[in-house]
Amino acid sequence: MQIHNYEKMWLVAALVLIVAIIATITYGTVGLGIAMVDDTEDTVDPGALEEEDGFDDPGVTQVGENEYDVHVIAYQFGYDPGDEVNGEIQIPEDSEVNFYVTSRDVIHSFSLVGTNVNTMVVPGEVAAITAEFDEPERYGIICNEYCGPQHHDMEGIVAVVPEEDFHLFTLEDVEAPDEVELGDDATFDVTVSSDHYDERTTTATFEAENETTGEEVEVEEELTFDGHDTAETTFTVDTDDFGTGDFDWTVTVEDEIESGSVAVLEELEEDE
Ligand code: CUA
């Protein structure tokens, strides 16, 4: 049988196209390493997320040298963490990040603009998605599912920050008195947590100044954490040195600050 040369050419061209299409699809699904969102994650109770592992304390946790878990709760109308109210999600450069996102009310989505992180967020389900971040950069989080009247306000930030600016220490609590009697110690109980997976140290700084007498005190305390851990320390101000009047205090851990003021009184009024 005689096949015309033109026909041969077109046959070959068609075959090449078919192979190219299959290769492209194969590369897109397998070669790029894009994982589809699947249903292998556990289900959660959207009404009791405070009892679910990870969602009881949403945010960033270090799980390996360059690996981080980020638990996010989507709600009407924002992300915890990730939005203006709950603070942006900070992760370090050159990290692999596992996002676990769920909703406590209706269907939302969690989409990082400019990346392939884009998943529907269904109450009761945990959407798990892993992404790598190399360079410092800020990514917007948006909700792609219409979820109510303020759907368009649902937005947030994932900030990839330089390694040296990154830490996972949280100033959880400062228990401070409102007033103390002259001669008594004013004590400040400070609780700090670490979400790093390995042993770390950080410094808690206490500063106080009496505006009337100009008396100042500054104390630093080193805190050591053995992995995911909390540490406590107590700062004490001798009010005999400080005299009566109000004094302002601040406690600083990395970029986290708590402050307040204490009234030093000649005599505490008895509570009736
Ligand atoms: Cu949430 Cu739209």
Ligand 1 centroid distance, CA of 125 (Å): 16
Q: 159 and 217: one domain?
A: no
Ligand 1 centroid distance, CA of 77 (Å): 7
Ligand 1 centroid distance, CA of 146 (Å): 5
Which atom of ligand 1 is least distant from the CA of 108?
1
Q: Of all protein residues, whose CA lies closest to atom 1 belonging to ligand 1?
A: 108
Ligand 1 centroid distance, CA of 141 (Å): 11
Q: 133 and 228: one domain?
A: no
Domain for residue 12, yes or no?
A: yes
Q: 6 and 95: one domain?
A: no
Q: 200 and 235: one domain?
A: yes
Q: 191 and 229: one domain?
A: yes
The count of structural domains within the chain is 3
Which atom of ligand 1 is least distant from the CA of 146?
2
Q: 133 and 58: one domain?
A: yes
Domain for residue 272, yes or no?
A: no
Q: 42 and 159: one domain?
A: yes
Q: 135 and 186: one domain?
A: no
Single out the residue in 113, 132, 165 at which a domain terminates.
165
Q: 102 and 161: one domain?
A: yes
Q: 26 and 47: one domain?
A: no
Single out the residue in 165, 191, 222 at which a domain terminates.
165
Backbone angles phi, psi at 56, to 5 degrees: -70, -25
Q: How far is CA 249 from the centre of its chain?
A: 27
Which atom of ligand 1 is least distant from the CA of 148?
2
Domain for residue 183, yes or no?
A: yes
Domain for residue 68, yes or no?
A: yes
Give CA–CA dist 11/230, Å, rounded.
70
Ligand 1 centroid distance, CA of 47 (Å): 18
Which atom of ligand 1 is least distant from the CA of 152?
2
Q: 21 and 46: one domain?
A: no
Residues with CB under 6 A from ligand 1: 108, 143, 145-147, 151, 154
Give CA–CA dist 135/133, Å, rounded.
6
pLDDT one digit per residue (tens) for the chain, 272 residues = 788 888 999 999 999 999 999 998 888 777 766 655 555 667 888 888 888 888 988 999 999 999 999 999 999 999 999 888 888 999 999 999 999 999 999 999 999 998 889 999 999 889 999 999 999 999 999 999 999 999 999 999 999 999 888 999 999 999 999 988 888 888 999 999 999 999 999 999 999 988 877 888 899 999 999 988 899 999 998 888 888 888 899 999 998 899 999 988 887 776 54
Residue-number span of the structural domain to which 117 is assigned: 37-165
CATH number at residue 255: 2.60.40.10
Q: What is the DSSP string of 90-122?
A: EEESSEEEEEEEEESSS-EEEEETTSS-EEEE-
Q: 153 and 188: one domain?
A: no
Ligand 1 centroid distance, CA of 147 (Å): 4
